[in-house]
Amino acid sequence: MPRKKSSTKKRNNQKEIKRKTKRKSSKNEKLEKKEKEVLPILPSSKEVKKSGPEENTKSPKKQIEKENKQLRNLFIGIAIFLLLMAVFWWAGHLFSKIEVKGVEFVKVKEGRLVFYKTSLPVIYKGKETSYNIYFRTNPSKLEKIPFQGTLSFRKFLVLNMTDEFSCQGQGVIAIANMVNVFNVLGTKIVKDENASCDPEARYLYVTILPGNETRIEEYAPSCYNIYTKDCEILESTERFMLEALSQVRKLG
């Protein structure tokens, strides 16, 4: 009988141990559950890596180098732009200049109209100044109009016309331009239908008349015919004035 008691006691002890172990395990599970509820869920190392600053974040030195490079490129771009503007201005200024028979002209625009300007030094009120002369025809084209003879200067120029040469108002402009230019050159233009070519060449005698070709000829000393084709009155008279300006340049 003592052995039976001992065996029963042993079984009871084992049961008690199991109960305690089970209680302890249950208690640990409850504690773990509470810790999970209380503690925040920490992100994984991969998530930290993604949400944190980029690995390629540049240092302040590299950032400064980048900004300096951008500024340098900006200044280079501005310099190139200014250089191109200067080149275009110089090219435009260069090609706007025309020199014909020693007379320099500058191409100018007034609205839709194109003029060719040259200047003469004059004395006005005791001071030297410039008198501007404007041609309507390109001087390079005027040079191609034949001029036979040599233009000389006198105090007077008798100008006659065998036709009205109204030509939509161009005739009036042509005569007015001649009067102004020769007046500046010291030659007064007058109209005298009774006058003719002077054998002694005491004055210039110029006749504007129609022709099959626009040209100018000196048919006697200081006597000239300006032949004008198809209302080319501006071209023919400006060719005459061009010859006069060229002679002035040669005389100094």
Q: Which CATH number fits domain 145-251: 3.40.50, 1.10.3470, 3.30.2420, 3.30.160?
A: 3.40.50
Eight-state DSSP code of residue 201: -
CA distance 158 to 223: 10
At 117-126, the pLDDT tens digits run: 999 888 777 8
Backbone dihedral angles phi then psi of residue 142, each to the nearest 5 degrees: -60, -35
Confidence of residue 181 (pLDDT cuts 50, 70, 90): very high
Nearest partner of 207 among 240, 181, 235, judged by Cα: 240
- Residue 52 CA to its chain's centroid (Å): 53
Any idea of the CA torsion for 6, 7, 8, 14, to the nearest 10 degrees? 110
As given in the structure block, the two tokens for residue 100 are 């014909």
- Average pLDDT rounded to a whole number, residues 225-240: 96
Cβ-based neighbours of 179, under 8 Å, separated by 6 or more: 189
What's the confidence (pLDDT) of residue 49?
52
Q: Would you say 214 and 229 are in contact if contact means Cβ atoms under 8 Å apart?
A: yes
Please determine, for residue 62, whether its predicted confidence score (pLDDT) is greater than 80: no
Whether the pTM exceeds 0.95: the reply is: no
Measure the CA–CA gap between 202 and 152, rounded to whole angstroms.
11
Checking if the pLDDT of 54 tops 70, the result is no
Q: Tell me how far apart the alpha carbons of residues 229 and 135 are, in angstroms, rounded to a whole number.
A: 19
What is the arithmetic mean of pLDDT over 102-119? 93
Give the amino acid at 21: T
Least confident of 50-54, 68-72, 174-178, 208-212: 50-54
Return the structure tokens found at 50: 């993604």
CA–chain centroid gap for 250, Å, is 36
- What H or E segment, with its residue span, contains residue 95? helix 60-95
Higher pLDDT, 136 or 163: 136
Worst-scoring range by mean pLDDT, 29-38, 65-74, 132-141?
29-38
Q: Is the pLDDT of residue 95 over 60?
A: no
DSSP one-letter string for 118-129: EEEEEEETTEEE
In the block, tokens 């030297």 appear at 128
- C-beta separation of 203 from 222 below 8 A: yes
Model confidence band, residue 1 (pLDDT cutoffs 50, 70, 90): very low
pLDDT above 90: residue 5: no
Burial class for 207, CB neighbours closer than 10 Å (0-12, 13-18, 19+): middle
**Range from 10-14, 167-171, 243-247 that averages highest in pLDDT:** 243-247
- Return the domain boundaries, the chain: 145-251
Query: What are the tokens at 84?
Result: 């191109």
- CB count within 10 Å of CB 105 equals 24
Band of pLDDT at residue 4, cut at 50, 70 and 90:
very low
